[in-house]
Chains A and B, each alone.
Chain A
Amino acid sequence: MSQAAEALSRYGFPEADCSRIPYGMYRDAEIYALEQERIFRGPVWNFVALEAEIPAPGDFRVVEIGDTPVIVNRAKDGAVHAMVNRCAHRGSILQRHLHGNTKVHTCCYHQWSFDLTGRLVGVPFQKGVAGVGGLPEDFDRACHGLKRLKVEILSGVIFASFSQEVAPLRDFLGPLFTQQVERLFAKPIRVLGYQRQRIFGNWKLYTDNLRDPNHGGLLHMFQIAFGIARLNATGGAKMDAEGKHNLSWAAQGGREPAEAGAASTAGYGDTGRGDQKIGLRDPSMLVYRKEFPDELTLAISSLFPGAALQQIGNTLAVRQIRTRSADEFEIVSTFFGYQDDDADMVRHRLRKANLAGPAGLVSMEDGEAVELVHRAIVRDAQEHSVVEFGGRGPIRDQDNLVSDVPMRGFWMHYCKLMGIETGAAEAAAQ
């Protein structure tokens, strides 16, 4: 049995619909290594950067796909390229700066240099000194370029893929998520800044969290306490045909205020979480200034495997998950507004950014929840998470928030790419 097959055979998914997820899938270093190969370098498109971050020829940013360092840059002809940030000579990090502008990427170790398309263009002392030393006569620079990724751009959002077989980006996203990208990037954007968060847990606990609308009105008490959102609000989850991407959404309107008020405490039972009646001294941060043609006030598109496009009111951002190990990942968020925002709108977005990110009044709990789970599942690798809110069986769109069906959608696709057969219990019973 190969090492990969051996690692995968350690854990069983007893239910074919992924309503049980074995804890070991979140803690196993060999599973993690396999994910780099089959998920992040598999037939997927990874969000890497925004065109607005590298507007001019020579502009670059260093990012990561999974845990592989990647350079995204714009070449002289304006085309965007993505290459593994590793010198083809001895494997050193090639571009040491996180961002900047350059004509070539030069390795500090032995000064090999690569142009903005990844071609090897400079090798000092290739012919040695006075005919002595240097590289062999038949050394062919053309064979020693950087490892190049496929790149596709949609509305200024740059995606990259290691896979030659990956479907075209629009097919990978499907119509709904193509439309969600186009919706958020309908106008020229302006990057407002970055936020980074290190979470000491498995990255899939975070992708689970993104696909679990059920926790929103239970864990994130700010939303409940200050009446921003409740589980009984108008909202739901929509997925692509494969169930791998998820749009969690909520909308203004819908229920009448009286009905919403009456319903607002229903369902919370004795958790003490439905009956808060407190207000903010300065509620201006909560005001939503309508800026999209639709009624959505919350739209978080979680794109398989590790990205999310976020509209929380007027707080707009792209989040990228960068894995570190089975036990750690980083979330890098790029917040943005639009170039036609006036000074007041920029200020509004910056104040509203208090709701999101590692210090987010609405979102800070996610870091804690992921770590709580990760710590507790250190043993009992064969035991399982229970994923049954919204029902078992086929993956379907959800017209309410009391659901974690999209989690199962993620895992179904994950298992397909990893080569895991789900439904061991049924198979064993037959």
Chain B
Amino acid sequence: MTDVTPELYLRVTQLLETYGRLIDEDRLEAWAELFTPDCRYEIISRENRDQGLPLSLMLCDSRDMLDDRIYSLRNANIFNIHSDCHVLGPARVEPDAAGLGVSAAYSLFQTNQGGETRLFSVGRYHFRLIERDGTLMIQSAQVVVDTGAILTLLATPI
């Protein structure tokens, strides 16, 4: 991929919109379909990243691990009952020989059953996108959370 055409920018924007919306709609299985089989999904605090420390908050280095995480959420884990609302900033798109580097700021609000909302997390997405059969897919997603002090717990993906 070379130039960032308006068409390409629109496709990236649509992918980011889909990414956030599928989590917000609790369609995590469909969300995982946005990733390639050899994908990597990582949530890491800015604190660790800035110190060059490798520890994540959540790390799935394959689709299998990502699917396991979702399967566990559905069947095993107990966590705060909530809905998510992602608000994404504009994407920065940087093509290179291997694909696309895409980053965007996000805010993630969580709302409980009583309609009480809190700002749960802010940070930045760093995606590697590749084209597979005419579709843009996520090869890797690194979520760098500024909100490294996780409120209560971190169950559903960011």
Chain A contacts to B: CB under 8 angstroms: 98-99, 191-200, 219, 221-222, 224-226, 276, 278, 280-282, 285, 330, 335, 346, 350-351, 353-354, 357-359, 361, 364-369, 371
Q: What are the residues of chain B within 8 A of A197 when measuring CB–CB?
A: 149-150, 152-153
Q: How far is the CA of A280 from the CA of B72 in the complex (A)?
A: 9
A282 touching B62 by the CB < 8 A rule?
yes
B79 touching A368 by the CB < 8 A rule?
yes
Known: A351-B61, A367-B153. A194 touches B55 (CB 8 A): yes
B30 at the interface (CB under 8 A from A): no
Q: What are the residues of chain B within 8 A of A225 when measuring CB–CB?
A: 72, 75-76
Q: What are the residues of chain B within 8 A of A191 when measuring CB–CB?
A: 53
B68 at the interface (CB under 8 A from A): yes
Q: Which of B43, B72, B78, B152 contacts A198 (CB 8 A)?
A: B152
Q: How far is the CB of A249 from chain B (nearest CB, A)?
A: 23
A282 touching B65 by the CB < 8 A rule?
yes
B68 touching A193 by the CB < 8 A rule?
no
B48 touching A330 by the CB < 8 A rule?
no
Q: What are the residues of chain A within 8 A of B80 when measuring CB–CB?
A: 367-368, 371
Among B43, B45, B148, B149, residue most surrounded by chain A Cβ atoms (within 10 Å): B149
Q: What are the residues of chain A within 8 A of B75 when measuring CB–CB?
A: 221, 225, 276, 278
Q: How far is the CA of A330 from the CA of B54 in the complex (A)?
A: 21
Q: What are the residues of chain B within 8 A of A278 when measuring CB–CB?
A: 71, 75
Q: How far is the CB of A212 from chain B (nearest CB, A)?
A: 16
Q: What are the residues of chain B within 8 A of A198 when measuring CB–CB?
A: 149-152
B104 at the interface (CB under 8 A from A): no
Of all chain B residues, which has the CB nearest A333? Answer: B55
Q: How far is the CA of A98 from the CA of B48 in the complex (A)?
A: 12
**Given A195-B45, A353-B55, 14 other A-B residues pairs in contact with their CB atoms under 8 A:** A192-B53, A193-B51, A196-B47, A196-B149, A196-B150, A198-B150, A222-B72, A350-B55, A351-B59, A354-B60, A358-B154, A361-B76, A364-B78, A365-B153
Q: What are the residues of chain A within 8 A of B47 when measuring CB–CB?
A: 98, 194, 196
B155 at the interface (CB under 8 A from A): yes
B5 at the interface (CB under 8 A from A): no
Of all chain B residues, which has the CB nearest A201? Answer: B152
Q: How far is the CB of A190 from chain B (nearest CB, A)?
A: 10
A193 touching B150 by the CB < 8 A rule?
no
Q: Which of A219, A226, A276, A330 contacts B78 (CB 8 A)?
A: A219
Q: What are the residues of chain B within 8 A of A276 when measuring CB–CB?
A: 75-76
Q: What are the residues of chain B within 8 A of A361 when measuring CB–CB?
A: 69, 72, 76-77
Among B55, B59, B64, residue most surrounded by chain A Cβ atoms (within 10 Å): B55
A350 touching B78 by the CB < 8 A rule?
no
B54 touching A192 by the CB < 8 A rule?
yes
Q: How far is the CB of A322 from chain B (nearest CB, A)?
A: 10
Of all chain A residues, which has the CB nearest B81? Answer: A368
Q: What are the residues of chain A within 8 A of B151 when measuring CB–CB?
A: 198, 200
Q: What are the residues of chain A within 8 A of B54 when measuring CB–CB?
A: 192-193, 346, 350
**What is the 8 Å Cβ interface bit string for chain B, positions 30-66, against chain A (1 contact, 0 not)?**
0000000000000101011001011111111110110
Q: How far is the CA of A276 from the CA of B48 in the complex (A)?
A: 36
Q: How far is the CA of A381 from the CA of B43 in the complex (A)?
A: 40
- For the complex, would chain A's binding face be called helix, strand, loop or mixed by DSSP majority? mixed
Q: How far is the CB of B103 from chain A (nearest CB, A)?
A: 21
A368 touching B153 by the CB < 8 A rule?
yes
Q: How far is the CB of B52 from chain A (nearest CB, A)?
A: 9
Q: Which 4 A-B pairs have the closest CB atoms?
A: A193-B55, A193-B53, A367-B153, A359-B154
B150 touching A358 by the CB < 8 A rule?
yes
What are 10 A-B contacts with C-beta separation under 8 Å? A192-B53, A194-B148, A196-B148, A281-B68, A351-B59, A358-B150, A359-B150, A361-B72, A364-B155, A365-B78
User: Which residues of B58-110 are within 8 A (CB) of A?
Assistant: 58-62, 64-65, 67-69, 71-72, 75-80
Q: How far is the CA of A365 from the CA of B57 in the complex (A)?
A: 15
Q: How far is the CB of B53 from chain A (nearest CB, A)?
A: 4
**What is the 8 Å Cβ interface bit string for chain B, positions 9-38, against chain A (1 contact, 0 not)?**
000000000000000000000000000000
Among A191, A193, A200, A278, residue most surrounded by chain B Cβ atoms (within 10 Å): A193
Known: A193-B48, A193-B55, A359-B57. A285 touches B152 (CB 8 A): no
Q: How far is the CA of A219 from the CA of B71 in the complex (A)?
A: 17
Q: How far is the CA of A336 from the CA of B72 in the complex (A)?
A: 26
Of all chain A residues, which has the CB nearest B155? Answer: A364
Q: What are the residues of chain A within 8 A of B153 when measuring CB–CB?
A: 197, 358-359, 364-368
B53 touching A222 by the CB < 8 A rule?
no
Among A194, A195, A222, residue most surrounded by chain B Cβ atoms (within 10 Å): A195
A335 touching B150 by the CB < 8 A rule?
no
Of all chain A residues, which has the CB nearest B150? Answer: A358
Q: How far is the CA of A219 from the CA of B77 in the complex (A)?
A: 8
Q: How far is the CA of A367 from the CA of B82 in the complex (A)?
A: 14
B56 touching A350 by the CB < 8 A rule?
yes
Q: How far is the CB of A378 from chain B (nearest CB, A)?
A: 15
Of all chain B residues, which has the CB nearest A191? Answer: B53
Q: What are the residues of chain A within 8 A of B152 when measuring CB–CB?
A: 197-200, 358, 367-368, 371
Q: What are the residues of chain A within 8 A of B148 when measuring CB–CB?
A: 194-196
A359 touching B58 by the CB < 8 A rule?
yes
Of all chain B residues, which has the CB nearest A283? Answer: B68
Q: How far is the CB of A239 from chain B (nearest CB, A)?
A: 28
Q: What are the residues of chain B within 8 A of A371 when measuring CB–CB?
A: 80, 152
Q: What are the residues of chain B within 8 A of A192 when measuring CB–CB?
A: 53-55
